[in-house]
Amino acid sequence: MTDTSLVQGEFAPADTSFAADISVQSSPLDAVADIVSAEADVAVTAEPNGFVELGLAPELVQAVADLGYTQPTSVQLKAIPLAMGGGNDATKFIDLMVSSQTGSGKTAAFLLPVLHTLINQQAAAEAEERAAFERSVAEAAERGEPAPKRAKRKDPTSSRNFKAATPGALILCPTRELAQQVAHDAIDLVKHCRGLRVANVVGGMPYQLQIAKLQNADLVVATPGRLLDLQRSMQIKLDKVQFLVVDEADRMLDLGFSDDLAELNQLTAQRKQTMMFSATFAPRIQQLAMRVMHDGGSGVQKVTIDSPQEKHANIKQMLYWADNAQHKRKLLDHWLRDTGINQAIVFASTQVECDGLANDLQQEGFSAVALHGALSQGLRNRRLMALRAGQVQILVATDVAARGIDVPTITHVFNFGLPMKAEDYTHRIGRTGRAGRDGLAITFAEFRDRRKIYDIESYSRQQFKAEVIPGMEPSQRPPQAPRAGGDFSGRGRPGGGYDRDSRDRKFGGPARGNGNDRGGFGGGFGGGFAGRDAPRGGAPRGDNNGGGFGGRDDRGFAPRRDGEGFGRKPGFGDAGRGGFAPRADAGAPRGDFAPRSKPGFAKPAGGGAKPFVAHDARKRPARPAR
C-alpha cells in the first residue's frame, strides 16, 4: 500500500472509481493551462519594479536586477527623479545636496541618474551620426558615386591616436578606497551599456596605466590630487564635464581638500549640475557647499533622509569603559573570540597603533591585517580584495577605511581608538548594518576619553548605555554626564566648571558661576574660584557675573558689586578691562589694568595717591647724539 492512498483517504472522495474517472478525463493540455494561469496570477500580484517606474534606461534596470535589487531605497526614490531633471534639457537640471545614513544606497542614487543621462545623450549622438552617414550615402548615390565607407575605429592605446580624455561626468571622492568602490559599482551598472566607459583615477597607481584607461572615458571617478596632476599634464580635459558629483562632501569640503575643490570648481564652471552626497552635513560645511553650487546655492534642492541624529535601526551600539590601554586590549580580545563574528573592522586612532594592534592579533592566531594611509596603494588594494574575498577576518584600520568599505559580511565594528571628530563615528559604525542587515558597533573608551564620548553623544543626540563584562569591570567608577552649563574649563558655557565644594568631585557646576553659589575654574559669564554663599564679617558677596579671582567671601578676594574691592568686571587679568585695583576705602585711587591696546595702568578714577604711569615709547625724549 502506497502513500497515495493516505492522500486519497484524506482529500479525495471515498469512491475510488470516481477518482479514476476524473484522472482519465483530465488531459496534459489542461494541466499546462492550469500552470500558465497560476503563473499569470503570480505575475499580477507581484510588486512592479520600482526602478522601471523611475523612468531609468532599460540597460540600467537590467543591471540593477542582476545585482538583486528591484525596489529603490528611500534616498534613491527621492533623489533620482530630482537628479534626472529634464533629461537632455540643460535648463531643467537642478543642484542637489543629499544627506542620508550610511548604507542607505547613496552611491546608486547619484550613479543611476548620471548614467541614464549619459546613455540618452550617447543614443542621440549615435542617431545623429547615423542620419548624417545615410545622407552622405544618398548624396553619393545621386551623383552616381560609390557609397562612402564608415570610418574605422582607431586604437586608443596607440600613441599616434592619443587624445586627451573629455569625460561628461566627474565624481570626486576623498579617499582612494571610496573612489575604487564607486568605480566598481559604476562598472557593474554599465555592463549592459554599449560604448559607455568608466575610468578610475587615484593616487599611488602607475600614471601610464591610468592614462590608458582614461581614453574615451565618459565617467571618471577620481581623488582630487591625482586628477589635478593629470589635468595639468594635459592628459585629461574638464571643459566638457556636465555633471559634478562630490561624494562624502563633508570630508571633501574640509580644510584638506578645500583648495583642490576650489580649483576643480573653476575648471568645471560650464557644468550643468552639481550634486553633493554625504551622511553628515555640519552647518559650516553647508555654507562652504553653497560656494560650489550654481548662483551661490540659491536653487539648491536639499534632501534629508534619516539624519545622523536618528538612531540606526539595524546597528546596535555598545560602550565599555576601560581603566587603561591594557584593559581595552583584554576587552577587545574577549569580543573577537565571539563565534558570532563573521568579519570585523577594528578602528585605531593612529597608524602606529594600527600596525601594533594588527601584529598582536596575528601573533594570537587571528586572521588580521592593517590598513592605513602610509601603506602603498597596491598593498592597500590587495588587503581590501582579501577582505572582500573572505580571506581576512579582521581589518585593523584608521579612518581611511571609515568611508567606502562596502562588505556585506562585516558584522562587527570595534572602536578601539576614538575618532578625532564626532561625525566620523557615524561613518565608522556605518561599515556594518548596510542594506538592511544587522550589525553591532562596540566602543572601548578610557576615562580620559570621556570628553570625546560626550561629544559623540551630543552630536548624535543619543545616550550611550555603558556595559560591563563579568570579571572585566573597570576599577574606577564610570564618569557621569556633565550637567547643563559646565565642563572642566567652563569656557564658553553659561557657568559651571570644577565643583570644588563637592565631595565626590563631580564634573559640572551651577547653571551660572555666581559667587553666592558654588562656582568653578571659570564660567561663560565670568566664573573663577567662586566663594561660598553667605558673606562673613561684613565682607562683600562675590558675584562672578563681573568676574573675579575670588576665594571665600570672608577672605576679601571676591569682587564687589559696586566696583570696589579686588577688581569688578571682569576681574583678575582679563584682557578687556582687568582688575587688581587697590581698595577705594584705603585712600588709594581706584584703578584698573588698562586693556592691551593701552600701555601701562589706567588713569585713576578719583583722588588719592598718584598712580604709577607706565613708560610709553611714543613720549620718550630723543636720545642725545654722541
pLDDT at 284: 75
- Mean pLDDT for the stretch of residues 505-515: 38
Dihedral, 189, 195, 196, 197 alpha carbons, nearest 10 = 100
Return the DSSP state at 264. Answer: H
Q: 10 Å Cβ neighbour count for 590? A: 20
Domain coordinates of the chain in residue numbers?
45-141+163-307, 315-467, 485-609
- pLDDT tens by residue, 125-152: 888 888 888 888 888 888 888 888 877 7
**Banded model confidence at residue 156, pLDDT cuts 50, 70, 90:** low
Length of the chain: 626
Question: Options 3.40.50.300, 3.40.190.10, 3.40.50.150, 3.30.360.10; which CATH number does 45-141+163-307 get?
Answer: 3.40.50.300
Nearest in space to 580 (alpha carbons), one of 557, 551, 598, 600: 557
Lowest mean pLDDT among 388-397, 452-461, 517-526: 517-526
Given this chain, do its domains 45-141+163-307 and 315-467 carry the same CATH topology?
A: yes
CB proximity list for 547: less than 8 A, separation 6 or greater:
526, 528, 559, 567, 568, 569, 570, 571, 572, 574, 579
Q: What are phi and psi of 12, to 5 degrees?
A: -95, 160
Annotate 287-321 with b (16+ C-beta within 10 A) or e (fewer). ebbeebbbeebeebeebebbebeeebeebebebbb
CB-hemisphere CA count at 13 Å for 587? 1
Coil, strand, or helix at residue 517?
Answer: coil
pLDDT at 319 over 90: yes
- Mean pLDDT for the stretch of residues 602-619: 45
- pLDDT tens by residue, 344-360: 999 999 999 999 999 99
- pLDDT tens by residue, 164-196: 889 999 999 988 989 999 999 999 999 999 889
Report the distance separating Cα 138 and Cα 485, nearest Å: 84
- Mean pLDDT for the stretch of residues 256-266: 86
- Mean pLDDT for the stretch of residues 502-509: 38
- Mean pLDDT for the stretch of residues 212-224: 91
pLDDT at 44 over 70: no
**Exposed / middle / buried, residue 7 (Cβ in 10 Å: 0-12, 13-18, 19+):** exposed
CB proximity list for 371: less than 8 A, separation 6 or greater:
354, 380, 383, 384, 395, 396, 397, 398, 400, 401
Report the distance separating Cα 572 and Cα 565, nearest Å: 12
Reported CATH class of domain 315-467: alpha beta
Nearest in space to 311 (alpha carbons), one of 66, 101, 81: 101
**Does the global pTM surpass 0.95?**
no
CB proximity list for 69: less than 8 A, separation 6 or greater:
51
Lowest mean pLDDT among 52-61, 149-158, 286-295, 297-306: 149-158
pLDDT at 189: 94
**Banded model confidence at residue 606, pLDDT cuts 50, 70, 90:** very low
Angle at 148 between CA 144 and CA 154, to 5 degrees: 170
pLDDT at 558: 39
Omega into 81 within 30° of 0, i.e. cis?
no
pLDDT at 556: 38
pLDDT at 504: 39
pLDDT at 501 over 60: no
pLDDT at 402 over 80: yes
Q: Are the CB atoms for 334 and 473 separated by under 8 Å?
A: no
219-222 β-sheet, strand order:
198-201, 219-222, 169-172, 243-247, 273-278, 96-100, 301-305
**Banded model confidence at residue 536, pLDDT cuts 50, 70, 90:** very low
pLDDT at 465 over 70: yes
Q: According to the per-residue pLDDT averaged within each range, which of 162-166, 208-212, 353-357, 530-534 is highest?
A: 353-357
CB-hemisphere CA count at 13 Å for 193? 29
- pLDDT tens by residue, 407-426: 888 999 999 999 988 888 98
Q: Are the CB atoms for 521 and 509 separated by under 8 Å?
A: no
**Banded model confidence at residue 481, pLDDT cuts 50, 70, 90:** low
Annotate 363-376 with b (16+ C-beta within 10 A) or e (fewer). eeebebbbbbeebe
Angle at 111 between CA 108 and CA 116, to 5 degrees: 120
Identify the residue with better confidence: 311 or 243: 243
pLDDT at 410: 92
Q: What stretches of 152-196 adopt beta strand conformation (E)?
A: 169-172
pLDDT at 625: 58
- N- to C-terminal Cα distance for the chain? 137
How far CA 272 is from CA of 54, 81, 182, in Å, comes to: 21, 16, 21
Annotate 132-170 with b (16+ C-beta within 10 A) or e (fewer). eeeeeeeeeeeeeeeeeeeeeeeebeeeeeeeebbbbbb
Per-chain mean pLDDT for the chain: 73
Q: What are phi and psi of 37, to 5 degrees?
A: -65, -40
pLDDT at 462: 84
pLDDT at 289: 83
Please give the share of the chain, as a percent, with pLDDT higher than 70: 65
